[in-house]
Chain A
Amino acid sequence: MNPLARLLAKRLATSLIVLIGVSMLIFAIARIIPGDPARIALGPNATQEQIANLRADLHLDDNIAVQYGYFIADVARGDLGISLYTNRPVTADIALYLPATLELVLVAGILMVGIGLPLGIWSARWRGRAADNVIRLISLLGVSAPSFVWAVILMLLFAFYLPLFPIAGRISDSYAIAPVTGFLLVDTLIHGDVRAFGNAAWHIILPAFALSLSGIGQAARLTRANMVETYDKPYIEMAQSYGFSARRIANRYAFRPSLIPSLTIIGLDFAAMLGNAFLVEAIFAWPGLSRYGVAVILRKDLNAIVGTVLIISATFLLVNIIVDLLIALLNPRIRYSQRPA
């Protein structure tokens, strides 16, 4: 087996163990809930008999290990149960709301990589100079406020005072786009509606930027720190004595080794963004998982809470596997080890 495939197999196995652990953790949290979920679901007018029936349906009278067994068997069949809040399958609810959140997080992730890495490279190349200090200060400010504060500030500046961007939503009401993937930026293109695509892109810029600001700061800070260390290495001095341009040295020789730690932190930041999306969505009235997630938490809707957290964690583990594979691809020690000497 080649090393990449082996790495992938190993990572998938570990992730599966971790995911089972997450499911136990979330399940345990959900079952220490005070109050009877069946009574909450049926409301104050339910009879004892109705409550008893629902409790039996939900296996609430069995011991917790048996309950977990029922739960994991259902999950394996792709069944996360019925949401007591919307009365629909949890998977259907999540399928409805998750694409909007994922789209927001993915665009924010692109901004994080597309802005954060170049800022870090610049900062390291001009280390000690004015440009470096400005970038360091901006990156530190970026990580120093929660994304909802950035969302409020950006909205006030660029949607109210300078009305450049829309205030809320994913797309203007005048566009009716039949969902295919649920990602508006993709669906509009599938339908060949370029103006709708532009409209959706225009809507996503501010929320995605607010969400990505702390990630941009993290990525820039870490890239700079690693590159500054690399600049002390003899091979950089050699490249300098060869007369390579400062730009080439920065982009090719000093940046390469720091790419791997940067990618690791980007993976972690992506996880944080999946959570922080809740905050940004609330400000920009973005129709994603946020409102659903908060609503089910406040209503103690067990199936929905467990399902939502499980899906988010699975997404996060998937992203981390992708990041690990990217690192393996970029790391010559792993990349070349498959070739026979």
Chain B
Amino acid sequence: MKRTLAILTANPLSLLGLVLVFVVVFSAVFADFIAPFPEHAGAVVDFANFNQPPQWPYIFGTDLVGRDLFTRVIYAYRISLILGIVVLAIAVPIGVSIGLVAGYLGGRTEYVLMRLTDVFLSVPPLVLAMSIMGVLKPTLANGMLAVTVMWWPWYTRLVYNITRGEKEEGYVLAAEVIGASRLHIIFREILPNCVPAIVTKMTLDMGFVILIASSLSFLGLGVQPPTPDLGSMVADGAKYLPDSWWLTIFPGLAILVAVFGFNLIGDALRDILGAEQ
């Protein structure tokens, strides 16, 4: 862990990644103290200052009802991060378990589980999430559900491929010979060898979950107003291009910064941990 951190800070690109992610996480956690107008995260109007270009004290400008965009971006980060953490916390254990079981047991179990995974992978991710959101009420919890449903199969595939390779290794055979239970072999012997790949993918995915969630809300199928959300801010602002460019550019760049940061760290982790794609 210490060594990993040392390598991460030595490389300028991964250092940049750490800084970006730190800024995003820090501003999300301490939004109440950093945001210049915390009340603007909700349904507030200030028509005296509506649609202002970036200027002090509104460094990102104001939206069409006079709310500070910088404040709203910071609070939107908070929602995005919560969503990312919850989605991964549910999708990863499910996906990993299915991948381990399918890869180790093989046979009919493998066939059924992997075809099931194929079904989920055969619908373009965004379309699957959209159709789920279509039948559910657009709330934050349902948004998390929709993204989770589309996310677990990727972990199943990743872990399945590793497991199939690992189960021929000597240490698995040794465990089988001394009569270890299947559960023991799957979760205590094989799983630890999948961890580097899983951790790497989770870091990259933190960014991609934020990206997909913003796409859903961009289409009006995600978090609903007045909750601040990067995707819906871009969608609302796009109607006022090019004059009120700040309405779209700042939330858009905010997505880019967060996803880019997680990607930089994920890339570096992949090199360090030697994880498989």
Tell me the A residues contacting B by CB distance below 8 Å: 14, 17-19, 21-22, 25-26, 29-30, 32-34, 137, 140-141, 143-146, 148-149, 152-153, 155-156, 160-161, 222, 225, 261, 271-272, 274-276, 278-279, 282-283, 293-294, 296-298, 300, 305, 309, 312-313, 316-317
Contacts and interface: CB of A to CB of B under 8 A. Distances in A.
24 contacts: A21-B115, A25-B119, A29-B132, A34-B135, A140-B264, A140-B267, A143-B263, A144-B263, A145-B260, A146-B214, A146-B215, A146-B218, A149-B252, A153-B252, A160-B242, A276-B126, A279-B218, A282-B218, A293-B130, A294-B221, A309-B123, A312-B123, A313-B122, A313-B123
A294 B219 contact: yes
Contact of B122 (A18, A140, A152, A297): A18
A275 B218 contact: no
A278 B219 contact: yes
Contacts of A276: 126, 215
A25 B120 contact: yes
Contact of B252 (A22, A26, A152, A297): A152
Interface in B120-178: 120, 122-128, 130-137
Given A29-B131, A152-B248, A305-B131, A316 B124 contact: yes
Contacts of B132: 29
B127 A275 contact: yes
B249 interface: yes
Contacts, number: 152
Choose among B119, B134, B267 the residue with the greatest number of A CB atoms under 10 Å from its CB: B134
B234 to A, nearest CB: 6
A160 B260 contact: no
Nearest to B213: A146
A22 B120 CA distance: 7
B46 interface: no
A239 B130 CA distance: 51
Interface in B208-262: 211-212, 214-215, 218-221, 231, 234-235, 238, 241-242, 245, 248-249, 252-253, 255-256, 259-260
Given A21-B116, A22-B122, A274-B124, A148 B241 contact: no
A274 B127 contact: yes
A157 to B, nearest CB: 10
B226 to A, nearest CB: 19
Contacts of B95: none
Given A146-B211, A298-B220, A309 B131 contact: yes
A283 B259 contact: no
A272 B124 contact: yes
Main secondary structure of the interface of B (DSSP, over half): helix
3 nearest interchain CB pairs?
A: A275-B126, A297-B134, A275-B124
B277 interface: yes
B118 interface: yes
A148 B242 contact: no
A152 B249 contact: yes
Contacts of B99: none
A222 B231 CA distance: 28
A26 B123 CA distance: 9
A270 B212 CA distance: 16
Given A146-B255, A272-B125, A300-B135, A282 B235 contact: yes
B245 A300 contact: no
A225 B276 CA distance: 11
A22 B260 contact: no
A155 to B, nearest CB: 7
Contact of B118 (A18, A29, A153, A305): A18
B61 interface: no
A84 to B, nearest CB: 13
A156 to B, nearest CB: 6
B127 A309 contact: yes
Most A Cβ at <10 Å: residue of B127, B234, B241, B252: B127
A160 B118 CA distance: 43
A324 B135 CA distance: 34
B219 A156 contact: no
A148 B215 CA distance: 8
A299 to B, nearest CB: 9
B207 interface: yes
Contacts of A148: 215, 218, 231, 234-235, 238, 252
Contact of A149 (B127, B207, B256, B263): B256
Contacts of A300: 134-135
A275 B207 CA distance: 18
Interface string B106-122: 00000000011011101
Name, among B124, B231, B234, the residue most crowded by chain A CB atoms within 10 Å (CB to CB): B124
Contacts of B211: 144-146
Interface in B167-212: 207, 211-212
A297 B277 contact: no
Contacts of A143: 259, 263
A152 B116 contact: no
Nearest to A28: B135
B131 A30 contact: yes
